[in-house]
């Protein structure tokens, strides 16, 4: 429906810089309407009385419908975000459907426990005690622009499984797949008001959602900087908050690694999704004995990547999502050059139509450089040699405010297990990278967030535990 103000804003194709369409510019009044609808749906109507089995079947149907619209959704995602169509076909859309299918099964499997208790101050009195998992209530969800459809699925599926209702604020850069998903939810038979999708800007619609006193919880995926603002804004009424935030992930290649696997793996770790991936392996540590070969190999992989429009079947990497993001990445490249880093390949943001940045490999970096310390969120990797596998390497790998992911490449699994235990990261991949599954929890240490996405762990984000005790 139109925004209460009647305002709209343009959706831009990042590969051309041209307008695709206009969508409603929601603000505080639209958030108020959406929260009211979500509260009514949570407290009355068919949703709160729906059985777990019925809810599970409905959520499964959503997954089926997403697969039924795979080609359409992939094209929308490519046009809106800029990613190659083939990536959206094999990753974004199928994984979104899988998240709904996986969560559908949990609708009938969440349960409490009967607890034997011993109350010391009432001797001789018996009690029956048990716990109940209950939905947290009305949830405000704010998703990013790097995987718009998939992030919507990661947020919506567990919230629906637990019986919550939702106001979902999609990213202003990429609203189209979220709007199409809303139509799919209606087609699946989701009752009115259970999910309400808002298009608008973070500083207006997003801020109003976080501050709303009738929202019980906020779930946010995005930058650490915005995550901190959300925590501050939610503090006034102590809303529950879960956060999946940024990363500056170390990717470590040991001297015994299979370089035929590790080199393309390291390239994919940073260049997948144009480097616009919170888990991107943006700090590449390689043993000094193989460092030159690793750098040359990753640079060669980068040079082969064909940039272009996501709908072009030959494209391997699309543009940055927006002019702002391209300029941000360009700023980091310029800062790296000023501080003494050298680009082995790439190093430039392209001018003209579209927001393209060349895949870049940086060397001659030092730990105090911006390109080492800060999340760039673009196709830029900094390569660093190390001489011995010791505490100093671990210290360097962990010397970041982030703790989202890490990679290890080695044939020695004993060493891999030892390293994995020492890395301060929520996910560690060994001889692989960017491996995701709906059953596998994902989230970060330190300033990479609070809570976990996916797996059964995500259900805790949307559940309150109630203890009930009855005197017998």
Active-site residue (options: 25, 278, 358, 375): 278
* Catalytic residue flag (residue 244): yes
User: Helix crossing, 291-304 with 259-271: angle to 10°?
Assistant: 50
**Helix axis angle, 176-188 to 148-162, nearest 10°:** 40
Q: Which tokens is 106 given?
A: 């949990």
User: Of 244, 358, 375, 453, which one is the catalytic site residue?
Assistant: 244
Token pair, residue 90, equals 């094999």
- State yes or no: is 277 an active-site residue: no
- 261 close to 407: Cβ distance less than 8 angstroms: no
| Paired sense of beta strands 360-363 and 342-345, if any | antiparallel
> Could you give the residue numbers annotated as active site?
244, 278
């Amino acid at each position: 429906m139109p925004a209460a103000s009647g305002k709209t804003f343009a959706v831009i194709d990042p590969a051309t810089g041209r307008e695709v369409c206009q969508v409603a510019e929601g603000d505080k009044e639209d958030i108020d309407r959406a929260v009211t609808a979500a509260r009514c749906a949570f407290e009355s109507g068919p949703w709160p009385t729906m059985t777990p089995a019925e809810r599970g079947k409905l959520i499964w149907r959503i997954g089926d419908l997403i697969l039924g619209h795979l080609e359409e959704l992939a094209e929308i995602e490519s046009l809106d975000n800029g990613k190659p169509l083939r990536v959206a076909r094999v990753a974004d859309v199928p994984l979104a459907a899988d998240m709904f299918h996986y969560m559908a099964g949990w609708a009938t499997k969440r349960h409490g426990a009967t607890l034997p208790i011993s109350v010391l101050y009432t001797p001789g009195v018996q009690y029956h005690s048990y716990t109940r998992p209950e939905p947290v209530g009305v949830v405000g969800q704010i998703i990013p622009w790097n995987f718009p459809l998939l992030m919507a699925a990661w947020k919506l599926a567990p919230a629906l499984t637990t019986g919550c209702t939702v106001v979902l604020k999609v990213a202003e850069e990429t609203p189209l797949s979220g709007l199409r998903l809303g139509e799919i939810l209606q087609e699946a038979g989701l009752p009115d008001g259970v999910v309400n999708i808002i298009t608008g800007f973070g500083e207006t619609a997003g801020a109003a959602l976080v501050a709303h006193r009738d929202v019980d919880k906020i779930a946010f995926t995005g930058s650490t900087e915005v995550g901190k603002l959300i925590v501050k804004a939610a503090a006034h009424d102590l809303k529950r908050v879960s956060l999946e935030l940024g990363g500056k992930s170390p990717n470590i290649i040991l001297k015994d690694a299979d370089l035929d696997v590790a080199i393309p793996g390291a390239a994919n770790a940073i260049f997948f999704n144009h480097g616009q991936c919170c888990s991107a392996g943006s700090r590449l540590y390689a043993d000094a004995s193989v460092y030159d070969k690793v750098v040359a190999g990753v640079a060669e992989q980068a040079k082969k990547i064909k940039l272009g429009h996501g709908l072009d079947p030959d494209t391997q990497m699309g543009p940055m999502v927006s002019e702002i993001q391209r300029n941000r990445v360009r700023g980091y490249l310029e800062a790296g050059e000023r501080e003494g880093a050298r680009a082995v390949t790439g190093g430039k943001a392209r001018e003209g139509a579209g927001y393209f940045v060349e895949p870049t490999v940086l060397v001659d970096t030092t730990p105090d450089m911006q390109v080492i310390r800060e999340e760039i969120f673009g196709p830029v990797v900094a390569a660093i040699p190390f001489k011995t596998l010791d505490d100093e390497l671990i210290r360097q790998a962990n010397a970041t405010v982030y703790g989202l992911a890490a990679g290890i490449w080695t044939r020695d699994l004993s060493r891999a297990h030892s390293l994995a235990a020492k890395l301060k990261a929520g996910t560690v991949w060994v001889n692989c990278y960017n491996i995701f599954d709906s059953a596998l929890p994902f989230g970060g240490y330190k300033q990479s967030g609070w809570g976990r996405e996916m797996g059964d762990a995500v259900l805790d984000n949307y559940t309150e535990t109630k203890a009930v005790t009855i005197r017998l």
